[in-house]
Amino acid sequence: MHTPVTIIGAGLGGLTLARVLHVHGIPATVYEAEPSPTARAQGGMLDIHDYNGQLAVAAADLVDEFRGLILPGRQAMRILDRDGTVLLDKADDGTGGRPEVQRGELRELLLDSLPAGTVQWGHKVSGVRTLGQGRHEVNFADGGTVVTNLLVGADGAWSRVRPLLSTATPEYVGESFVETYLFDADTRHPAVAATVGGGSLMAPAPGRQIHAHRERGATLHAYVVLAETLDWFAGIDFTDTAAATARIAAEFDGWAPELTALITDTDTAPIWRPNYALPRGHRWDRMPGVTLLGDAAHLAAPNGEGANLAMLDGAELGKALAAHPDDIEAALTEYEQAMFARSTEIAAEAAEFFEDLFDGTAASLVAVFAGQDQTR
């Protein structure tokens, strides 16, 4: 296949696609709005699953390099009640089914695996239009343009490419994350570090949850989950760290101090991240020369599958294009039909978990994991 592929977005999905295309000798260019690979933090830990994310790593021919990123012991998991009682304490079983890596390190691995110049930084898309016969024009904020016969929107929740295919827009799901970090926690926050342990911690209650991961070294990364409206969060000044953490911590009055310290003792300003989703089962009619992957295609509320699905989308699209070098439309049709089914199935499974199995309490979450263990 000699048609160059134009990819919008240098996230994990877009980079996986570029890498798989490179493995198969297919040229690609990735256009990214950020000015450099280090322009912003890349988020925290990801568990890369053996049934999707790791399949993408294998398709990218990066298995050995990926194994070098895995943080030992991080599959350990604890579930606590709000009073700090440990209800479940699972050690890392060492099977590697869901190994944890740092998102930024995984992205760096993918970037380093691509030929120099594959990613064009500082190219923010201002608009995209169809020229007909499978050709599309991408306009950038700096006035530049590119015309392509094969356009892939890997540009996330607020994709500029999606409107070519769909009128769907993400809607707020009714809850947000507030992220905090505690650094050098074993020394500076020993009680909290001991509570989190060597892997992840979950302390759920209806409408209120505290999650935390031990990242590389002794960094604790917490996700405080609150089921509140956008207006409620807009009333908090997140630029005032003391006031914001006090306001968030007030929602956990009566919880164990070693849990609320993940909020009050943060070493960074808290970051508000509202959660959005596209309609469940989102799909579109085939349009020549363009498709979507990852959150641009099937944005869902956080369920542990987003990065894995984006990477698998990229890998499967790359493989389909390599398998149909003389028929782009056949490749895109094959990819989309499989992707639609895959993302819909994952969404249904997530809905079953959150709506039917997990009622928001720590005890119900423990019961879910106990049931999973019994069926293995």
pLDDT confidence band for 309 (50 / 70 / 90) = very high
pLDDT score for 226: 97
**pLDDT of 199 above 80:** yes
Instruction: Give tens-digit pLDDT for 112-154.
Output: 999 999 999 999 999 999 999 999 999 999 999 999 999 999 9
Provide the b/e sequence for 341-357 (b: ≥16 CB within 10 Å).
Answer: ebbeebbeebeeeeeee
Annotated ligand binding at 253? The verdict is: no
Please say if the pLDDT value at position 339 is more than 90.
yes
Across the range 225-236, mean pLDDT stands at 97
Task: Name the band, by pLDDT with cuts 50, 70 and 90, for residue 371.
Answer: low
Mean pLDDT of the chain: 94
Query: Is 50 annotated as belonging to a binding site?
Result: no
Q: What is the model's pLDDT at position 374? A: 47
* 342 known ligand binder: no
CA dihedral 286, 289, 293, 296 (to 10 degrees): -80
pLDDT over 50 (residue 375): no
Q: Between 306-323 and 12-23, two packed helices, what is the crossing angle to 10 degrees?
A: 30
Question: Contact, 13 vs 310, CB < 8 A?
Answer: yes
CA distances to 74, 89, 146 from 103, rounded to whole Å, are 14, 25, 30
Answer whether residue 256 shows pLDDT above 90. yes
Question: Rounded to an integer, what is the distance from CA 272 to the centroid of its chain?
Answer: 16
Mean of pLDDT values over 162-190: 97
Determine the average pLDDT of the residues in 290-295.
Answer: 98
- Residue 31 and residue 8: Cα distance in Å, rounded? 5
Task: State the alpha helices, DSSP H only, in 84-189.
Answer: 103-112, 185-188
Amino acid at 364: S
Q: What is the pLDDT of residue 197?
A: 95
Instruction: State the number of CA atoms in the 13 A half-sphere of 119 facing the CB.
Output: 26
The burial of 36, by beta-carbon neighbours within 10 Å (0-12 exposed, 13-18 middle, 19 or more buried), is given as: exposed
Q: Give the tokens for residue 214.
A: 């031990």
The token pair at 267 is 């070493």
Q: Is 295 annotated as a binding residue?
A: yes
pLDDT for 258? 96
